[in-house]
Amino acid sequence: MTLAELLCLALLSLNVGDTPQRGQYACQQTDTIVSAAQENGIRPELIVAIIHYESRFNPRARSNAPACGLMQIMPKYTGSRQTGVPRLTCEQLYDPTVNINAGAKTFRYWWQVYGRGSERIGLCGYYAGFRCKGRNPIPSGVRYARRILRLADSLRAEMTTIERAHTRGTNDR
């Protein structure tokens, strides 16, 4: 079983996306998610959790910020040498492959550079910007990071359970 298939089964099992249609759409994106995760050294379940929280797997999601697409990226922050994400418009960010790749690169910056390897600080930064360190990190960013990590950990546990069951089933044949 591939990592993308395992991720799909786990997200369907946990009702990620909130509806069967969004769950199926999420499964269609797992190859892209796994590829972007591997390219950026990120756990794929973190990307799934970010997308779930940010857009519930609605590729046309747009906030008042305005942040666009699956990972809710703000076009005004694209085109940065720090992240390696080229300048992108909202229309371009509605493409799931473009959005997932840009979101993974953006998160990698927050995690590796700003958070210095801390997923918690990196997630807070992805959500709230440069207000996540020190004595008083922004509470909304801290809550966001906690929610994302909780869902990512649940996905990882579910993937492990599914993989064990699959391995047992294969060995029983």
Domain that holds residue 100: 3-171
Q: What is the pLDDT of residues 133-153, one digit of tens each?
A: 988 999 999 999 999 999 999
pLDDT in tens, 81-121: 999 999 999 999 999 999 999 999 999 999 999 999 999 99
DSSP 86: P
The pLDDT, as a whole number, for residue 25 is: 97
User: Does the model's pTM come out above 0.85?
Assistant: yes
Number of independent structural domains in the chain: 1
Query: Using CA atoms, how far apart are residues 19 and 8, in angstroms rounded to an integer?
Result: 14
Give residue 173's pLDDT band: very low, low, confident or very high (50, 70, 90): low
**CATH number, domain containing residue 129:** 1.10.530.10
